[in-house]
Amino acid sequence: MRRLQNPAFSDKALKAQESVITGYVKLLIHKLHGEASGAADADGAVVDMNSWYNFTTFDIIGDLAFGEPFYCLRDASWHWWLHAVFDIFQAGTYLRAARRFPSPLSEMLLLLIPRRLIKTRVAQFKFGVDRVDRRLEQETDRPDFMSYILQGSDEKAMTVDEMYAAAQVLIVAGSETTATGLTAATYLLCENPHTLARLTAEIRDAFQDEDGITIQSTAGLSYLNAVIEEALRLGPPGPGTFPRVVPDGGRTVCGSFVPAGYSVGVHHLSINRSPAHFREHDGFHPERWLDDPRFESDKKAAAQPFSFGPRNCIGKNLAYAEIRTILARVVWNFDMKLHPDSAGWLGRQKMFTTWHKTEMKVYLSARKR
């Protein structure tokens, strides 16, 4: 099924989708200007950036997957389906934990999973099915995911049931993970004002007007991309493991034989913060991704925020494109300062497959020109 989805995530598709993405990023900036204009504090308006980033990425992925957004940005509110995404991750964590126990204990533990989570999962799936059906009824040439999937020949095309399943995964994986990267980057920048100042200088020097900030133009900003890599290292969107099953015959992993049928995986948060791979492993140092000699011994390949190999995240390029353009436009337009309530924010977040994030508040003010 991944092969059938690949065209929707190609460089050609991303270029065609840029106008859709940019439209929502511009709406985000417009909304944030509205927030900043009502500042009651000399430092700026108190704004929860986590919510605004989630609104943006959820609307983008909704439009690209279903041909219509969830109108989170327009209404400045959390669509119930966005809350359902967090419930799904939480339920998945409980399911995986229960399955690690032998029968009949595993079955008994499954009964302890809150029924609310099961009901939410059923409602979420039905809602996604309805959205896919509505999209399939449309005759449009918009460059969303479905337009590429539907281009497959009859003998190679996805079945409708496969489209239902694919859409669920795209929404869940394509919204929250990108928002996590953005929130982590913003928090770490505000917690380290010297890095924010350097990034601000790079972006504002590079662009005389906001319209120059595009997917392609931001790809060449070395410090911006270093900031993103470092933020994804310290706050990976999927901080746990992406397990794989050992095939027949077993395999030797890191010098130890693992029998067939066992589940193995690398814990991203642990390896990303391992002193065996990174100097000053808990520090936020974008310079490690540049040519700083302090970090020349770092094993940077150990950090794989979107996994590695043929089963890595299919939307990796889309996620990077969104993070670059959104973060660049926010920094180009606004000055930010961490709110005291968000001191130590990253260390206080809970993890259920992905992060279950709380408010991440900053003081936000429009840049003075």
Q: Which residues are annotated as a binding site for heme?
A: 313
Contact 170, 65 (CB under 8 A): yes
Say which residue the tokens 């934990």 belong to. 97
Which residues, 6+ apart, have CB-to-CB distance to 341 below 8 Å? Answer: 359, 361
- Choose the final residue of a domain: 251, 267, 283: 267
- Choose the final residue of a domain: 252, 267, 282: 267
Statement to judge: residues 282 and 338 lie in one domain? yes
Q: 307: alpha, beta or left, given left = phi > 0 and alpha = psi -120 to 50?
A: left
How does pLDDT run along the chain (369 residues), one tens digit per residue?
677 788 788 889 899 999 999 999 999 999 999 999 977 778 899 999 999 999 999 999 999 988 889 999 999 999 988 888 778 778 778 888 888 888 888 888 888 888 888 788 888 888 889 989 998 888 777 788 888 877 764 556 788 888 888 888 888 778 888 999 999 999 999 999 999 999 999 999 999 999 999 999 999 999 999 999 999 999 999 888 888 899 999 999 989 999 999 989 889 999 999 999 999 999 999 999 998 999 999 999 999 998 888 778 888 999 999 999 999 999 999 999 999 999 999 999 998 878 889 999 999 999 987
Contact 263, 292 (CB under 8 A): no
Say which residue the tokens 């533990």 belong to. 109
Statement to judge: residues 255 and 326 lie in one domain? no
Query: 202 is written with which tokens?
Result: 């790079």
Contact 85, 96 (CB under 8 A): no
* CA 13 to the chain's CA centroid: 19
Compute the half-sphere exposure of residue 281: CA atoms within 13 Å on the CB side of its CA: 15
Statement to judge: residues 198 and 243 lie in one domain? no
Rounded to two decimals, the pTM is 0.92
How many whole angstroms separate alpha carbon 204 and alpha carbon 67? 33
DSSP designation for 101: S
* CA 202 to the chain's CA centroid: 24
How many structural domains comprise the chain? 2
Statement to judge: residues 230 and 246 lie in one domain? no
Statement to judge: residues 168 and 259 lie in one domain? no
Contact 1, 166 (CB under 8 A): yes
Q: In the prediction, which pLDDT does 155 show?
A: 58
Domain range spanning residue 216?
A: 2-238+273-366
Statement to judge: residues 249 and 157 lie in one domain? no
Q: In the prediction, which pLDDT does 364 show?
A: 97
Q: Which residues are annotated as a binding site?
A: 313
Statement to judge: residues 234 and 247 lie in one domain? no
Statement to judge: residues 109 and 256 lie in one domain? no
Q: Which one-letter amino acid corresponds to residue 102?
A: P
Statement to judge: residues 261 and 330 lie in one domain? no
Statement to judge: residues 228 and 244 lie in one domain? no
How many whole angstroms separate alpha carbon 168 and alpha carbon 307? 20
Q: What is the 3-state secondary structure (H, E, C) of 128-154?
A: HHHHHHHHHHCCCCCCCHHHHHCCCCC
Helix axes 49-66, 115-137, angle to 10 degrees: 50
Statement to judge: residues 17 and 114 lie in one domain? yes
Q: In the prediction, which pLDDT does 301 show?
A: 95
Q: In the prediction, which pLDDT does 313 show?
A: 86
H or E element, residue 50: helix 49-66
3-state secondary structure of 202: helix
Q: In the prediction, which pLDDT does 1 show?
A: 65
Q: In the prediction, which pLDDT does 241 show?
A: 85
CATH of residue 288: 1.10.630.10
Contact 324, 12 (CB under 8 A): no
Statement to judge: residues 159 and 244 lie in one domain? no
Say which residue the tokens 């066992």 belong to. 262
